[in-house]
Amino acid sequence: MALKKQILDVIGGPHVAAVATLDGKQPAVRFMVLSGFPDMTLVGGTMKVSNKVGQLKKNPDTALTVWSGKEFSDPYVEIKAKGAVHEDVATKKKYWNPMFEQYFKSADNPDFVVLVFTAAEITYHGKNMSSMEVWTR
């Protein structure tokens, strides 16, 4: 199976991801629901006032980890990415997901922003950690 397809099998669609940004010189990690796309971007929504928004605006370098979440032995990926904050309504509508409604009400909510993480490098760890391959942009 081609590496890109293996990666997309892990990140494609909505998944819980560990997202690490920098808070000054210290890493700050939190869980977010992100949706992975074939262009190797991951997208999620958050509140404009969240700490991660301020951190990404200061330093877009981000590390993410996504695990398929079915069996402990299933594949997972580690991602080095650049994060961007999008506040424009067009982008918010493009990536709007009905699951956001309970948190943000609508894409027009001025407190709702979209985070887009563009992968620069993805390390794929195969089932039972049997293999490790690296995809780069």
Average pLDDT estimate for 94-99: 93
Check which CATH number belongs to the domain holding 66 and give it: 2.30.110.10
12, containing H or E segment: none
Instruction: Give yes or no for residue 70 having a pLDDT over 90.
Output: no
Instruction: Give yes or no for residue 1 having a pLDDT over 70.
Output: no
Average pLDDT taken over every residue of the chain: 94
Burial class (CB in 10 A: 0-12, 13-18, 19+), 73: exposed
- Structural domain count, the chain: 1
* Residue 22 structural domain: 3-136
